[in-house]
């Protein structure tokens, strides 16, 4: 949730932020109006409550006819107080609903534009020249069949489109990636966590996933629970309605993730790049607001360290304003080189959400001036399917086998993936 005081003081800043995100700037004015109405309703209620308290004291000291008259007044006043309280509650609910429609205030340093308007910050590694090596690279689906690691046909038979089995070397590769990622996270000071993946509406709404992202969320209506698309959701909500004593706090959550992919009809229909269910390790930080930008750099550095060790060419991009989502003020993506697509594809993302999620989830910390919302940040250390795609395609050999990156060998127990 945005800072309402900041919005009152500089509404143009928020109007512009909405505009460059591709969102409706008029909600800012709707909120200003609703906020005025809310404050008037609160003032009227409090005024009547004060009058009621004064009258109650007078009734206590009155006698006879005077007391009877005061009691009649008190009865009428009680009805007015009840009505005013109802109006106050309605006004607050209306203002809160509108406030939830306003995205976080964008970082001025973020590039302006849509999905294609990102800025490349750096490019690491050089894509292999397969022609020089004397063969055409196979895509991950073909390699997965050769080494019996991926079965999308049976996945579709059992669970429908965008589903898959990881078998044999594929299953072992996932476990190796997860264990390696968790070991790096623990070494960096993160507390490992396996969170719930079914969460209440408050957790989804608090993290900003029931707004523009709601179409991609699986909702179990009968139970009023949601399947998470990222462990960012349960990690953020872990400290909901709490005051934190020591900051920063860093968690690394391992979980399955579920996404409907409602807006991706026809995209990436082959293979496991875009799927409905996958596993990942997510980093999550609670810190002081003034430390958030530096923490964002650290999360990106840990992501880079991970992909450097996998010996995969990649680039880092600064995501444009229209592709940030509701919560992030700035986002950096790592995109791995995929040889058969002749393109870089997103494999990780790290976002600075400042105090936006903490306000919604009521997570605060104490300093000498009192309590205030913490800042929250998240970053994917490994999203398994896309990382497997990058490993298979970049480390494939002419005979169809796959060379295992040195960093993964201790976790996988082999240096080459071959047909079983």
**Catalytic annotation, pick one of 162, 349, 351, 364:** 349
261 has which bridge partners? none
Domain tally, the chain: 2
pLDDT higher than 70, residue 420 = no
Tokens for 35, please give them.
Answer: 């906020």
Supply the pLDDT for residue 51.
Answer: 84
Does residue 262 form part of some domain?
yes
Domain boundary (43, 72, 99) is at: 99
Among 66, 99, 132, residue at a domain's last position: 99
In a domain, 105, yes or no: no
Regarding whether 360 and 275 lie in a shared domain, the answer is yes
Please tell me whether residues 233 and 302 are part of one structural domain.
yes
Assigned domain for 110 exists: no
- Spatial distance between the Cα atoms of 195 and 409, rounded to a whole number of angstroms: 28
346 is catalytic: yes
Q: How confident is the model at residue 52 (pLDDT cuts 50, 70, 90)?
A: confident
Active site residue 259: yes
Q: What is the pLDDT of residues 352-380, one digit of tens each?
A: 999 999 999 999 999 888 999 999 999 99
Q: Encoding tokens for residue 47?
A: 């005024």
CATH code at 21? 1.10.287.40
Are both 22 and 121 inside the same structural domain?
no
- Both 253 and 192 in one domain: the answer is yes
Of 37, 64, 99, the position where a domain reaches its end is 99
Residues of the chain above pLDDT 70, percent: 98
28: Cα separation from own chain's centroid: 23
In this prediction, residues 184-211 reach a mean pLDDT of: 95
Residue 21 falls in the annotated catalytic set: no
Asked if 345 contacts 336 with a C-beta cutoff of 8 angstroms, the reply is yes
Are both 137 and 256 inside the same structural domain? Answer: yes
Largest CA distance in the chain: 108
Annotation marks residue 8 as catalytic = no
pLDDT in tens, 163-187: 999 999 999 999 999 999 999 999 9
Q: Is 270 left (phi over 0), alpha (psi -120 to 50) or beta?
A: beta
261 is catalytic: no
The verdict on 39 and 126 lying in the same domain is: no
pLDDT in tens, 121-143: 999 999 999 999 999 999 999 99
C-alpha distances out from residue 316 to 67, 97, 137, 164, 406, Å: 77, 36, 24, 28, 23
The one catalytic residue in 259, 330, 359, 360 is 259
Q: Is the Cβ–Cβ distance between 25 and 15 less than 8 Å?
A: yes
More confident residue, 56 or 47: 47
| R_g over Cα of the chain | 27
The residue annotated as part of the active site, out of 242, 260, 346, 401, is: 346
What CATH code is carried by the domain that includes residue 287? Answer: 3.30.930.10
Do 248 and 319 belong together in one domain? yes
Which residue among the candidates 15, 39, 49, 274 is catalytic per the annotation? 274
**Contacts with 132 (C-beta within 8 Å, 6 or more apart), sequence order:** none
Q: Say whether both 50 and 191 belong to one domain.
A: no
Q: Mean pLDDT across the stretch 1-16?
A: 94
Statement to judge: residues 241 and 317 lie in one domain:
yes
- pLDDT over 90 (residue 156): yes
In a domain, 381, yes or no: yes
Question: 67 vs 130, which has greater pLDDT?
Answer: 130
- Edge-to-edge strand order for the sheet containing 191-193? 119-124, 314-318, 330-338, 343-352, 375-383, 277-287, 249-258, 191-193
Confidence of residue 72 (pLDDT cuts 50, 70, 90): confident
**Can you give the pLDDT at residue 212?**
65
Q: Is the pLDDT of residue 408 over 70?
A: yes
Whether 107 is covered by a domain: the verdict is no
If one compares 57 and 384, the residue with the highest pLDDT of the two is: 384
Structural domain boundaries, residue 57: 4-99
Mean pLDDT of 30-35: 96
- Residue 148 and residue 74 share a domain: no
In this prediction the pTM is 0.92
Of the listed 23, 94, 386, 393, which one is catalytic?
386
Q: Which of 58-72, 261-275, 397-411 has the lowest mean pLDDT?
A: 58-72
């Amino acid at each position: 949730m945005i800072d309402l005081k900041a919005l009152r003081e500089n509404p143009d800043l928020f109007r512009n932020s909405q505009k460059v995100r591709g969102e409706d700037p008029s909600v800012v004015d709707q909120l200003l109006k609703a906020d005025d109405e809310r404050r008037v309703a609160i003032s009227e209620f409090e005024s009547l409550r004060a009058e009621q308290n004064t009258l109650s004291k007078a009734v206590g000291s009155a006698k006879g006819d005077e007391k009877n008259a005061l009691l009649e007044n008190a009865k009428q006043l009680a009805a007015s107080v009840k009505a005013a309280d109802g109006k106050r509650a309605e006004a607050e609910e209306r203002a809160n609903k509108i406030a939830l429609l306003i995205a976080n205030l964008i970082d001025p340093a973020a590039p302006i534009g849509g999905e294609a308007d990102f800025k490349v910050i750096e490019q690491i590694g050089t894509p292999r020249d397969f022609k020089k090596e004397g063969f055409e690279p196979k895509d991950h689906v073909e390699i997965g069949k050769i080494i019996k690691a991926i079965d999308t046909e049976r996945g579709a038979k059992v669970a429908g489109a965008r589903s898959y089995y990881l078998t044999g070397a594929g299953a072992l590769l996932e476990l190796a990636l997860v264990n390696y990622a968790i070991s790096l996270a623990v070494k960096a000071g993160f507390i490992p966590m396996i969170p719930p993946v079914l969460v209440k509406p408050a957790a989804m709404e608090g993290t900003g996933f029931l707004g523009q992202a709601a179409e991609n969320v699986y909702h179990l209506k009968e139970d009023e629970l949601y399947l998470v698309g990222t462990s960012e959701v349960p990690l953020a909500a872990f400290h909901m309605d709490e005051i934190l004593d020591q900051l920063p706090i860093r968690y690394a959550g391992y979980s399955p993730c579920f996404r409907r992919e409602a807006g991706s009809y026809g995209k990436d229909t082959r293979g496991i790049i875009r799927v409905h269910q996958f596993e990942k390790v997510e980093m999550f930080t609670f810190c002081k607001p003034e430390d958030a930008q530096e923490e964002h750099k650290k999360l990106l550095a840990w992501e880079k360290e991970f992909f450097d060790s996998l010996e995969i060419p990649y680039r880092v991009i600064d995501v444009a304003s229209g592709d940030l989502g509701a919560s992030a003020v700035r986002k950096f993506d790592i995109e791995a080189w995929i040889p058969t697509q002749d393109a870089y594809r997103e494999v990780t993302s790290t976002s600075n959400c400042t105090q936006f999620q903490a306000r919604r989830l009521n997570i605060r910390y104490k300093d000498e001036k009192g309590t205030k919302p913490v800042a929250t940040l998240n970053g994917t250390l490994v999203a398994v399917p896309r990382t497997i795609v990058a490993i298979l395609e970049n480390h494939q050999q002419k005979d169809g086998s796959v060379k295992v990156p040195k960093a993964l060998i201790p976790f996988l127990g082999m240096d080459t993936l071959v047909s079983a």
